[in-house]
Amino acid sequence: MFPCIEFSSQVFIVKRFINVLVVVMFAGSALAASSADEAFEILAERLVSDLPNFSPVQATLIGDHSMDDKLDQVDAKARAKSHQLYSDYLDAIATIDRDALSRANQIDAELLRDEIEARLWRLDTLQEWAWNPLMYVNLAGSSIYGLVARDFAPLEERLLAAASRLEQIPRFLEQAREVIEPVRVPKIHAETAVQQNVGLVSIIDAMIVPEMGSLTAATRERLKAAIEMAKDAIAEHQTWLEEELLPRAAGDFRIGAELYDTKLAYALNSPLGRKEIKARAEAEYESVRKQMYDIAKEVYAGTHPYTAFPDDPDEAYKQAIIRAALEEAYQVLPPRDGIVDVAKQQLQQATDFVIENNIVTVPDDPVEIIIMPEFQRGVSVAYLDSPGPLDKGQKAFYAVAPLPADWTEEQVNSFLREYNMLSIQDLTIHEGVPGHYLQLALSNRYPSTLRAVLGSGPMIEGWGVYAEQMMIAEGYLNHDPLMKLINLKWYLRAVTNAIIDSAIHVDGMTRDAAMKLMIEGGFQEEREAAGKWVRAQLTSAQLSTYFVGYQEHIEMRRAVEAEWGDEFTLRRYHDQALSYGSPPVKFIRALMLGEDIPGGDD
């Protein structure tokens, strides 16, 4: 999935101050422009060029390397200046006549306005800066990882920048400790930060230290001193996390209805709200389980050909047949340390199928399957790390988390049953081809850098789920009923994700109730469900993006099929749908069907 903490869509995070006078002068020049389009394009260009000033780390991740040697400021002074800057940009947008913009610029203007409003709300109301220590651990980790993971510049140049950022780690972590309010920090966030902070050292040891022998003596000595300085600061922060933050962490991870609904609206940018999502998901839950039973009968009859299935089975009977059929898939498991190798082979298999069946254009951008960096573990099993829109030609990384070394044999078996050979097929479709890797590679070809920076999580995650379903419908693995069953199980996961997301944060769903729904209702193994319970606590409003995005994708496809009639082909549809970047699906639908561009309240 697309990076699975709330950094996921690579949108900018303001941490540093740009002189307000610059923005005021800019707004005036926009007003003086000869057309609304010209004014907006000046604004968008200015914003993109300012990204390194907003957040040097996030700028590195999108491919702007002008401030690779700087590490973000995260103190109260920086927040206040960021707030002013957001407000000034919002005022500048308000001076532009939306109705006079081109359709493409109407979309980008809506995205920019919504994003800035969301950022102001996060600063003023949600205030994660005060209670979420994970955002600082991940920013610190990304500051180094983003410099060394891709070869966008000569190694010596990148490691000099890394040395500069390592030298700033003590200041950065000290600022984080000053703004975090332990009493507001949920215990699960503190526990996860304790686990992830250790991973900062592993980035240094695994990705920087092995390269030092090829550096000049001066760079090597500076880097060596910077590493020692950073490791001392990380150790100090680890002590604080364990001895100060964790014992005092007393916040409620449930954010409640008011915060959840607002956060959901910003996250989805969709006409669908919490109540309709819940109703749709509950209806889909029943429908998918019925489909699973019908396919499970086919699988079961293959090994028990004389079975006479009852005409009106009760739920317990259907549950038993589905479980028995799933056991067939659990007989073929990957080796404990072989998931990456399996994923590599299956990625090629899926790519070949897409090409042979003329499903969608396959980009030639490089992609590598890797072990997930330690500082990003603990939230999801896998994600797709696409290069930033300004880093043309760089690798995408399909990252897979290794199994924890301290797991028991029972826990290992539970995980491998969940991620059996057919499940890894589904995962690889979602993360690779024709899922995230393919979609994001094509998205980065869209000329609007602003739109790439403000990519929609539901569009991206919904496409991943759509890709899974579409591939099976097109006959991947020769219409194997067991693959169909596993595919439906994975879709059921997206459905239960949407159910538990709001149920946990708004309705007070307990761990036992969530685990029962996922294990009994969704046929998930204990390790998968336990991990999802942790993730649901850490990432409110994110788990709904898969289901909502998928619902919007399939509704758009149905509408386009009806409009195009006999002229509809998968290749034509997919290529056109993915040609507009990654805005919310409602905008793609408007472009595909020639409808009015939705406004902020639509």
In a domain, 4, yes or no: no
How many other C-beta atoms are found inside a 10 Å radius of the C-beta of residue 119?
A: 22
Q: How far apart are CA 68 and CA 126, in angstroms?
A: 29
Backbone phi, then psi, for 397, in 5-degree steps? -115, 120
Smallest CA-to-CA distance from 455 within 91, 107, 56 is with 107
Type of residue at 331: Q
Q: How far apart are CA 241 and CA 326, in angstroms?
A: 42
How many other C-beta atoms are found inside a 10 Å radius of the C-beta of residue 37?
A: 16
In a domain, 520, yes or no: yes
Domain boundary among 66, 96, 126: 126
Domain boundary among 110, 126, 142: 126
437 neighbors 386 (Cβ within 8 angstroms): yes
In a domain, 87, yes or no: yes
Q: What is the pLDDT of residues 224-237, one digit of tens each?
A: 999 999 999 999 99
Q: How far apart are the first and last CA of the chain?
A: 27
Q: Which helix (H) or strand (E) holds 396?
A: strand 396-400
Residues in the chain, pLDDT under 50: 1-32
Q: What is the pLDDT of residue 556?
A: 98
Residue with tokens 């009852």: 310
SS3 state of residue 473: helix
Q: What is the pLDDT of residue 600?
A: 55
Q: What is the pLDDT of residue 15?
A: 30
Q: How far apart are CA 451 and CA 62, in angstroms?
A: 12
Type of residue at 55: S
Q: What is the pLDDT of residue 11?
A: 32
In a domain, 375, yes or no: no
Q: What is the pLDDT of residue 363?
A: 95
Q: What is the pLDDT of residue 34?
A: 64
In a domain, 266, yes or no: no
Residue 378 neighbours by CB under 8 Å, 6+ apart: 192, 195, 196, 534
Backbone phi, then psi, for 247, in 5-degree steps? -65, -25
The count of domains in the chain is 2
Q: How far apart are CA 547 and CA 357, in angstroms?
A: 26
Q: What is the pLDDT of residue 30?
A: 44
Smallest CA-to-CA distance from 148 within 92, 99, 212 is with 212
Full residue range of the structural domain in which residue 44 is found:
17-54+75-126
Domain boundary among 126, 146, 164: 126
Residue 577 neighbours by CB under 8 Å, 6+ apart: 556, 560, 588, 592
In a domain, 458, yes or no: yes
User: Sign of torsion, CA 30 35 36 37?
Assistant: negative
In a domain, 324, yes or no: no
Q: What is the pLDDT of residue 19?
A: 32
pTM, full prediction: 0.91
How many other C-beta atoms are found inside a 10 Å radius of the C-beta of residue 408?
A: 8
Smallest CA-to-CA distance from 476 within 464, 486, 463 is with 486
Give the pair of three-digit tokens for residue 248: 């005092």
Smallest CA-to-CA distance from 54 within 72, 76, 75, 80 is with 72
